[in-house]
Amino acid sequence: MPAPWGGLGVNVFLIPGERLTLVDTGPATPEALDALSSALAAEGHRLSDLQQIVVTHAHAGHCGLAGALADGADARVLVHVAGADALADPIEAGRARSARARVAAVRAGAPDEAITALVEALAARAAVVAPVASGRLARLADGTRVRAGGVDWAVLHTPGHSPDHVCLLHAASGAFIAGDLFSRELPTATMLEMLRPQPGGTPARPLALLLASWRRVGRLRLSIAWTGHGEPVRAHRLLIARRLAGLRGRLVGARAALASGASTAWEVAGSLDLQRDGASLAASLAETFALCEWLRDRGQASGGRSGEVMRYQAIAGGRRGP
């Protein structure tokens, strides 16, 4: 599906047969709706034929059309419990996301113009999500079985990119719908919502969650993984190994940046050549904070507040990883 912010666009998947199912939807734009209608027509279906919609995670490009499609087809929308509120009230979810992003950007030491651009970009993305009526929402959990195409698919809760991220596995064939857990063309970014404390006040550990999700999927026997962006993946273990190596490299780079005098997430992101404009800043700051917190947890960096800004400093020694 075409996305208004460009890039690779968003992949959506039709599972034909009994209980006709769409996995992800594209954003709520006329262009995406036209593209989806044409793609379904090429397969002999209409939008109104859809019986259920599975959302891998509640980001605009992946869930934006869910509400409108569900209303038009009298279909239900399946999403992890952690993403249900964002689908039911995307405007409020967008406000909360923008507010968190502003706080994070200030804490990162970002300049005012970058903060303004970030908030405006996130507001634009929130505008391409149509709400899903609460009566149409069905909440998924790890281990839930989803009937689609006449067979059962296992739901795997795979947080790291987002708290609500799920994948679908058809174990008999090894077919796997990966969402944004990994991609051949794009690195997997942990997003700002991953920095929120977990239930019970447990500190957020976004990289640990992402690593656990990668390793869990790396143990599976897959024939093909269809991803949320770009081309399918057939050697998923090799790709995950490459992503792990890339993460190790970014951790080394983040520590080197701190040792060279960088002290804020904004400065470390610049040292790592991460994009710091518009909506890209959200992913860059989330990743940088996650890297710095990983280093701090392992005794390779210290950190503390200086006014509103979080500042870090490299420490010799500490545990390595991941």
Based on the domain organization, do 20 and 121 belong to the same domain? yes
Has residue 320 been placed in a domain?
no
Residue 190 is predicted with a pLDDT of 84
Pair 305, 231 in one domain: no
Confidence of residue 280 (pLDDT cuts 50, 70, 90): confident
Alpha-helical (H) ranges within the chain are 30-42, 60-63, 66-73, 84-88, 90-107, 112-126, 206-218, 236-259, 265-271, 280-297
Does residue 206 fall inside a structural domain? yes
pLDDT score recorded for residue 201: 59
Answer yes or no: is 6 within a domain: no
Can you give the residue range of the structural domain that contains 57? 13-235
Q: Quick one: pLDDT at residue 195? A: 75
Which of 235, 252, 268 is the endpoint of a domain?
Answer: 235
* Domain assignment present for 55: yes
Q: Mark which of 180, 211, 235 sits at the end of a domain.
A: 235
| Pair 310, 227 in one domain | no
Mean pLDDT value across residues 212-225:
97
This prediction has a pTM of 0.93
One domain, residues 88 and 145: yes
321 within domain boundaries: no
Out of 121-130, 131-140, 142-151, pick the least confident: 121-130
pLDDT exceeds cutoff 80 at 255: yes
Which pLDDT score, from 0 to 100, does residue 197 have? Answer: 66
* Beta carbons within 8 Å of 87's beta carbon, 6+ residues apart: 55, 58, 63, 66, 67, 77, 79, 129, 131, 132, 137
Residue 122 has pLDDT above 90, yes or no: no
Do residues 80 and 113 share a domain?
yes
Report the pLDDT value the prediction gives residue 320, as an integer from 0 to 100.
Answer: 65
Question: In this structure, is residue 322 part of a structural domain?
Answer: no
- Please state the length of the chain: 322
Does residue 5 belong to any structural domain of this protein? no
Q: Look at residues 208, 235, 262 and tell me which one is the last residue of a structural domain.
A: 235
What's the CATH number where 281 sits?
1.10.10
Task: Say if residue 248 is in the same domain as residue 231.
Answer: no
**pLDDT at residue 227 in the model:** 98
The confidence score (pLDDT) of residue 5 equals 84
* Mean pLDDT, range 127-138, rounded to an integer: 94
